[in-house]
Structure 1
Amino acid sequence: MLISSVPIAAICTGIAVTLFYSASYYLFPALLNFWLDTLSISKNNLTFAFSLSLFVQAFAFPFYGRLIDRGYGLILILICPIMIGLSLLYLSYAAELYIVFLSGWISVNFFAAGCTYNMLFSIITMAEKKDTKRTIIIITLIAGFASTITFPIMTYFASTHGWKFAIMIIGISIIIIGTPMLYAGMKNYVIVKVPKKLQNNNKILLRIDSKLLLLSLPFFLIALNHQMLVSHIIPLLLEKGVEFKMAIIIASLFGPFQVVGRLIILFFREKISDTDSLFYIFYMTVISLLFLYVTHISPSLAFIFILLEASAYGVTSIILPLISKDVLGMSNFGQKFGYVSVFYALGLSCGPWIGSLIWTNSNYDFVIIFIILSSLIGLLICYILKYKYFKSLPKK
């Protein structure tokens, strides 16, 4: 593929992934208050269902990664989006029943594992085309608006036509728009015949060594912290005294401000290394949480929080596959990256539920303190990585 045509493919992929993330990550927090008002299901049980679905998603990554290593990436990008759409239609049909709510979310996120950032960027990285980083950045720039679209639009449809109608709209959109867009964007990246040098291990399960584990832990903490915030941001802001309409606006800025971080990387990618960006994420998270903690003094401080936290987190999806490739190598990369993605997705899955548990036994101030402490632990792990593995990486 010529470099001049990369943006077209990236734009198509970005549009598709925007819809997938709207369904798998932002739909739940957007409709949480509506479910609390209409369903006889507790907040803990609602967030547990979502957390469990992300937990299932986590362990789907090595499975999908192995399929990619064996040349079945095309099947993933065709089947997974359709199944997400059908799962949402199922969820909209009878979600008043907890078993339907639970199984519906599990299905959504199991199939989302095969067609969102982690596996798509694995495919793009393995293709080894020119300017892989630029392609990934363009996709994330577009998909970064998922929250901007999801929160206001789903809130509008749920308020005017009911939450079931809102879910149906996004489910149908994924089937008729997301699937063909993803195929158009990814068809030239999929490797049908994977070189032997990239699949030299026939074992179903690869050994998780200390290098892979140490690399995975910071990304686990990043995901844990961010998803805890995203899933609870509206009730957290309400507890801080922020008005509901303003809380919706702030929540919808997660996406655009992620784009800010990605634009910084796009324009300064020759000067800012991937490893430096990893440190930046944790530092900015700590600073942003300090602003969130004192939001009760002035609601406008929440905008500073969302700018710093979201812009830092937005860099994660770019550096995750690139650092993984540099540290772990290209042999069996799909499956290795799948294991790294397991830890990342486990963080996402634990976030909503842990946030609920902390809130139930105290309040959201303790959630903020917990995230600050876990970010400091993440920084410590990054320094260990720096002296153990990052020093040997080429400067970028």
Structure 2
Amino acid sequence: MTEASSPLSTRVPVHSLGISQILSYGLMFYAFAALKTPVAAATSLGESTVLTVLSMALILQAILMPIVGSWCDRHGALSVMRIGFLTGAAGIAGLGFAGAVPVPTMIWLAGCFLLVGTGLAMSTYEVAFSAAVQLHEAKSRRSISIITFYGGVASSLTWLSIHPLLEAAGLTGTCLVISGALVFASLMIGNAARRAPRPAAVRDAAAAPFRWSLLQSSEKRAMLLLAGSGALEYLLFATTTLLWINWFDAQFGSLALAVMLASIYGPFQVVGRVLEMKAGHHLDARLTGLIAAFLVPVSLMLVQIQSIPMAVLAMALFGMGHGVLTVSFGFVTNLYFRAEIYGRAKGIIATPRAFGAAIGPGVGGLLFGLGSDVYMG
């Protein structure tokens, strides 16, 4: 069987990449919705302080995105991911000992989150999408959709498992389990890298210059629009995501119900991505992205109605909107930038988006501290 005719699954390790996104987003981002409280207790700091330090780590992720994109083009995205998971594992393991080491608490906490932020920058969707484009550019939209199917359940699986794990093993035990899972992800991606053919895009990257002055007008417009819209979408996403549990707990007075409601949007990300894949053969990815962008503000209006059915509907729309937008941001970039420069283009486009995600938890924590009516209003 020739490379050109080989099945997608043998060219692009979509399932390994998909599982990696459950572990990356789940354990280095979503987990802090549950971990922020025990970390705050262990360090005698407020939850808002922990979220602020997390935001600083995510700002580091944003700063690193262009560099990570360049590494992807030159060394291969799979190799970058492998190292990223190990870096994140070290940071999470350190958090388990926060407040119990002879190091000033803020210095230890900042160091751990620095490693988590670096690991996140090297192992999330932007890098996974780069791997898909490098290995099989012609089928990148389908690969990206499959990868995001897995990522869509990251929040639900994380929240439904971390809370019981914290009760059974405590903060230290939970962090060590999470760290072990990230090491497993590194080994899995390393194995995929050894089995995958060396991408032609990586071989050609050195000969493919990438500078603003060399871009066509359409490419410049695309870069600015994708960067700006991505920043706004991820600011809203990060401001709300880690506080959905707090929001629903305040609304309905039940932590168990709050966890269940907050977990709804994850599976509906998958629903949105299934619909995007089905419609992808008939609709331009830019159009599906616009439709999805409309669903997010609608969901934020519905969630303010103190009704369980409305909360379920809001979470479903929020999940579908964000789910489709993730695919759109990944594939639309490839419509304008070829595989040899995709990593660098994606890195620059993702930088303001990552800044939005970075300041989101801190902004959300500050607003929620002022009152739930101020937070969502």
Deviations 1:186-213 (A, max 9, x none): 5526537735477433779999956522
CA distance in 2, matches of 1:95, 1:57: 25
Q: Which residue of 1 aligns with 2:357?
A: 348
| Greater alpha carbon shift after TM alignment, 200-209 vs 308-317 | 200-209
**2 CA distance for matches of 1:108 and 1:94?**
14
**Which aligned segments of 4 or more residues in structure 1 are displaced greater than 6 angstroms?**
202-208
Distance 2:247 2:296 in 1: 17
- Corresponding residue for 1:226? 237
1:125-274 equivalences in 2 (<5 Å): 125-175=133-183, 177-186=184-193, 187-188=195-196, 191=199, 194-196=202-204, 199-201=207-209, 211-274=222-285
* Structure-1 separation of matches of 2:210 and 2:228: 26
1:321 aligns with 2:325: no
2:59 to 29, 51, 55: 55
Comparing 251-260 and 194-203, the one that deviates more: 194-203
| Structure 2 counterpart of 1:381 | none
CA distance in 1, matches of 2:210, 2:274: 40
Are residues 45 and 246 of structure 1, via their aligned partners in 2, closer, same or farther at CA, if it must alter by over 3 Å?
Answer: same
**Cα distance change of structure 1 residues 199 and 341 upon mapping to structure 2, 3 Å threshold:** farther
Deviation of 1:16 after TM superposition, in Å, equals: 2.1
Which residue type is aligned with residue 312 of structure 2? F
Corresponding residue of 1:44: 48
The answer to whether the 8 Å contact 1:74/1:190 transfers is no
How far apart in 1 are the matches of 2:368 and 2:214?
38
Match of 2:15 in 1: 11
SS in 2 for 1:123: helix
Alpha carbon RMSD of aligned pairs, Å?
Answer: 2.7
Contact between 2:17 and 2:128, CA under 8 Å: does it hold in 1? no
**Per-residue deviation at 1:286?**
1.6
The letter for the 2-side match of 1:255 is: G
3-state SS of paired residue (1:300): helix
Query: 2:128 aligned with 1:120, yes or no?
Result: yes
Deviation at 1:271, TM superposition (A): 2.0
Distance 1:136 1:74 in 2: 15
Of 327-336 and 160-169, more deviation after overlay is shown by 327-336
Return the match for 2:91 from 80, 87, 100.
87
Residue 71 of structure 2 corresponds to residue 67 of structure 1: yes
Identity %: 21
Secondary structure of the structure 2 residue equivalent to 1:272: coil
Alignment of 1:267-282 (within 5 A): 267-282=278-293
**What is the correspondence of 1:21-40 to structure 2 with a 5 Å cutoff?**
21-40=25-44
Cα distance between partner residues in 2 of 1:211 and 1:192: 25
Distance 1:313 1:109 in 2: 22
Query: Which residue of structure 2 aligns with residue 306 of structure 1?
Result: 315
Secondary structure of the residue aligned to 2:18 is: helix
Shift of 1:74: 4.6
What is the CA distance between 1:237 and its match in structure 2?
1.4
Match for residue 103 of structure 1 among 111, 115, 121: 111
Question: Counterparts of 1:169 and 1:197 in 2: how far apart (Å)?
Answer: 38
CA apart distance, 1:312:
0.8
Contact kept in structure 1, 2:31 and 2:158, CA below 8 Å: yes
**The residue matched to 2:363 in structure 1 has which SS?**
helix
Note if contact 2:142-2:277 (Cα within 8 Å) is conserved in structure 1.
yes
- Cα–Cα, structure 1 residues 8 and 69, in superposed 2: closer, same or farther, change >3 Å? closer
Residue identity opposite 1:141 in structure 2: F
Matches of 1:181 and 1:343, distance apart in 2 = 30
Q: TM-score, normalised by structure 2?
A: 0.88
Deviates more, 1:184-193 or 1:243-252: 184-193
Could you tell me whether the CA contact under 8 Å between 2:51 and 2:365 is conserved in 1?
A: yes
Give structure 2 stretches of 5+ with no counterpart: none
C-alpha contact 2:269 2:319 (8 A) present in aligned 1: yes
Which digits, 9 at most, give the CA deviation of each residue in 1:276-305, with x for residues without a partner? 1221222101211121011x2x23321111
From the superposition, tell whether residues 65 and 327 of structure 1 become closer, same or farther in structure 2 (CA, over 3 Å). same
Residue 292 of structure 1 corresponds to 303
| Cα distance in structure 1, aligned partners of 2:224 and 2:197 | 28
Instruction: Report the alpha carbon displacement of residue 329 of structure 1 after superposing the two structures with TM.
Output: 4.9
2:366 aligned residue: 357
1:60–1:110 Cα contact (<8 Å) kept: yes
> Comparing 32-41 with 143-152, which one deviates more in the overlay?
32-41
More displaced stretch, 149-158 vs 122-131: 122-131
**Normalising by structure 1, what TM-score?**
0.84
The code of the aligned residue for 2:83 comes to I
